[in-house]
Every structure is written in structure tokens, then in C-alpha cells.
């Protein structure tokens, strides 16, 4: 029972985080300039962990509905990536974006991309452990000792 509740709480947190993330990035699609197109490509490459973060949600959807869910969710993901691309295009020059794309074509860049999912999963676990360790300390100081 405790294991089921823990999974439910984790799933609920993931859904809430993703809902907030998707709400922040809801915009109309307009991929006109070469800078935005390249930045969009960069965001999709460098944020490959988004797909792995959705796996717990996918596991909650019946198999017969999963493809329809993914299709309906794709425009939301596309909008999120476009918004991230616009932020990247404001932050970096087009030359910087092209250099980053070139880097991801190198062996080291490919290795880095391949390791992202494992690092993401580990960071999620470490973050949860950190939160559990932090809570008693936080509570102690919130209560005034």
C-alpha cells in the first residue's frame, strides 16, 4: 500500500510539473527564420530527456489509447520546443547555435546526448533523496527549533 501511494505521489508530481511546463510554453507555431529553425533543432537534440520524463505518464495510459494520446500531445510538445527555441535564439547568436549543433554531430557530442537520459533519471532520484533529507531540516527551522 505504501509503495502504491509513493508511486501515486511521484506520478502526481510529474504530471503537475509537466502541466506547468506545458502551460508556460503554449504559443502559436511560427518557424520562419533560419535562426529559429536551427535553435529548434538544438532544443530537440539537447532536451531529449523530455521523452523519458513522459514514460511514467505513458505507463498510466491503456495500451489501446497510447498512440492517440501521443498524437494529441505532439502539438503541445512542438509548441514547447518552439518556445524554448525562441529563448535560445535570444540567448545565443546564430553562430553559437550552429556551433552547438556541430558539436552534437561529433563523437563527444553524440556520447553526451546518449548519456542524457541516464543522467536525467539519476538526477531525478538524487533530487528526491535530497528533498527527503532537506525536509526535516527545513521543518526544524520553520518551527523555530
The predicted structure's pLDDT at residue 126: 93
Q: How confident is the model at residue 3 (pLDDT cuts 50, 70, 90)?
A: low
pLDDT in tens, 124-137: 889 999 999 999 99
- Of the listed ranges 4-18, 53-67, 80-94, 102-116, the one predicted with least confidence: 4-18
> For the chain, what are the domain ranges?
2-135
**Helix intervals (H) in the chain:** 2-24, 34-46, 49-58, 63-91, 94-105, 107-142
Q: Give the dihedral of Cα atoms 105, 108, 109, 115; nearest 10 deg.
A: 130
pLDDT in tens, 104-126: 999 999 999 888 888 888 888 89
The pTM of the whole model exceeds 0.75: no
Amino acid at each position: 500500500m505504501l509503495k502504491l501511494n509513493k508511486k501515486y505521489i511521484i506520478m502526481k508530481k510529474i504530471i503537475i510539473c509537466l502541466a506547468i511546463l506545458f502551460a508556460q510554453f503554449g504559443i502559436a507555431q511560427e518557424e520562419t527564420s533560419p535562426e529559429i529553425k536551427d535553435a529548434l533543432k538544438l532544443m530537440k537534440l539537447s532536451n531529449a530527456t523530455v521523452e523519458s520524463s513522459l514514460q511514467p505518464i505513458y505507463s498510466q495510459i491503456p495500451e489501446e489509447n497510447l498512440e492517440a494520446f501521443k498524437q494529441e500531445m505532439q502539438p503541445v510538445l512542438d509548441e514547447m520546443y518552439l518556445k524554448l527555441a525562441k529563448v535560445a535564439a535570444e540567448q545565443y547568436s546564430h553562430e553559437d547555435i550552429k556551433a552547438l549543433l556541430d558539436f552534437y554531430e561529433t563523437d563527444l557530442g553524440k556520447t553526451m546526448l546518449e548519456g542524457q537520459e541516464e543522467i536525467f533519471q539519476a538526477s531525478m532520484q538524487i533530487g528526491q533523496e535530497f528533498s527527503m533529507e532537506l525536509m526535516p531540516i527545513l521543518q526544524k527551522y520553520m518551527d523555530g527549533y
